[in-house]
Amino acid sequence: MAGNAPVGVFDSGVGGLSVLREIRQLLPHESLLYVADSGHVPYGEKSPEFIRERSRVIAEFLLAQGAKALVLACNTATVAAVAELRERYPALPIVGMEPAVKPAAAATRSGVVGVLATTGTLKSAKFAALLDRFASDVRVITQPCPGLVECIEAGALEAPATRELLQGYVAPLLAEGCDTLILGCTHYPFLKPLLRRLVPDSVSLIDTGAAVARQLQRLLEQGQLLAAGPAQATRYWSSGSPAQMQRVLPVLLGETAEVRAF
Name the catalytic one among 145, 151, 178, 185: 185
Q: Other C-beta atoms within 10 Å of 30: how many?
A: 26
For the chain, the straight-line distance linking the first and the last C-alpha, in angstroms and rounded, comes to 25
Give the span between the Cα atoms of 210 and 74, in whole angstroms.
Answer: 14
74 belongs to the catalytic site: yes
Distance of CA 205 to the CA centre of its chain: 15
Q: Is the peptide bond before 242 cis (omega within 30 degrees of 0)?
A: no
**CA proximity to 242, closest of 218, 227, 219, 261:** 261
CB 140 within 8 A of CB 31: no
Give the span between the Cα atoms of 201 and 192, in whole angstroms.
Answer: 12
Provide the annotated active-site residues.
74, 185
